[in-house]
A and B are shown apart, each in its own frame.
Chain A
Amino acid sequence: MSDALRQTPLHALHVELGAKMVPFAGYDMPVQYKLGVMKEHLHCRAAAGLFDVSHMGQVIVRAPGGYDEVARAMEGLVPVSVLGLAEGRQRYAMFTNDRGGIMDDLMLANRGDHLFVVVNAACKAADIAHMRAGLPGCEVDEITDRALLALQGPKAEAVLARLVPDVAGMRFMDVAVKVSQFGELWISRSGYTGEDGYEISVTADQAEGFARALLAEDEVEPIGLGARDSLRLEGGLCLYGHDIDEGTTPVEAALSWAIQKVRRAGGDRAGGFPGADVILEQLDNGAPRKRVGLRPEGRAPMREGTQIYASAEGGEAIGHVTSGAFGPTIGGPMSMGYVPSDHAAEGTELFGDVRGKRLPVTVAALPFTPANFKR
Chain B
Amino acid sequence: MKFTEEHEWLRVEGDVVVVGITEHASEQLGDVVFVELPEVGGEVAKDDEVVVIESVKAASDILAPLDGEITEVNEALVDEPGKVNDDPMGDAWFFKIKASDLSQMDDYMDEAAYKDFIG
- Tell me how far the C-beta of B85 lies from the nearest C-beta in chain A, rounded to whole angstroms: 8
Given contacts A300-B54, A303-B58, 13 further A-B contacts (CB under 8 A): A32-B30, A37-B57, A39-B31, A226-B56, A226-B57, A230-B56, A299-B33, A300-B34, A301-B33, A326-B34, A326-B56, A355-B52, A355-B59
**A36 near B31 (CB under 8 angstroms)?**
yes
Verify A36–B33 contact, CB threshold 8 A: no
Number of A-B contacts (CB under 8 A): 40
Using a CB-CB cutoff of 8 Å, which residues 113-157 of chain A contact chain B? none
Interface contact A299-B31, CB-CB below 8 Å:
no
Closest chain B residue to A230 by CB distance? B56
Question: B36 to A300, Cβ gap below 8 A?
Answer: yes
Query: Measured between C-beta atoms, what is the minimum distance from A226 to chain B in Å?
Result: 7
SS of A interface (majority): mixed
How near does chain A come to B51, taking the closest CB pair, in angstroms?
Answer: 12
A38 interfacial by beta-carbon distance below 8 Å: yes
- In the assembled complex, the Cα of A36 lies from the Cα of B56 at a distance in Å of 10
Q: Which residues of A contact B30 (CB under 8 A)?
A: 32, 36-38, 226
Q: Which residues from chain A contact B59 at a C-beta distance below 8 Å?
A: 301, 303, 355
Given A37-B30, A38-B31, A326-B33, residue A299 in contact with residue B81 (CB < 8 A) = yes
Question: B34: which A residues are within 8 A, CB to CB?
Answer: 299-301, 326, 333
User: 0/1 per residue, B33-68, Cβ < 8 Å to A?
Assistant: 110100000000000000010101111000000000
Q: How far is the CA of A41 from the CA of B81 in the complex (A)?
A: 18
Interface size range of chain A in the complex: 10 to 19
Cβ contacts A301-329/B at 8 Å (1 or 0 each): 10100000000000000000000011010
Q: Which 3 A-B pairs have the closest CB atoms?
A: A326-B33, A38-B31, A299-B34
Q: Please indicate the chain A residues that have their CB under 8 angstroms from the CB of B78 in the complex.
A: 299
Is the pair B56, A37 in contact by a Cβ cutoff of 8 Å?
Answer: yes
Q: Are A37 and B54 in contact (CB under 8 A)?
A: no
A residues 29-83 with Cβ under 8 Å of B? Answer: 32, 36-39
Cβ-defined contact, B52 with A37, below 8 A? no
Q: How far is the CB of B87 from chain A (nearest CB, A)?
A: 16
**In the complex, A32→B57 CA distance in Å?**
11
| Residue contacts A-B, CB under 8 angstroms, 15 given | A37-B57, A38-B30, A38-B33, A226-B30, A230-B56, A299-B34, A299-B81, A300-B34, A301-B54, A303-B59, A325-B56, A326-B31, A326-B34, A326-B56, A355-B52
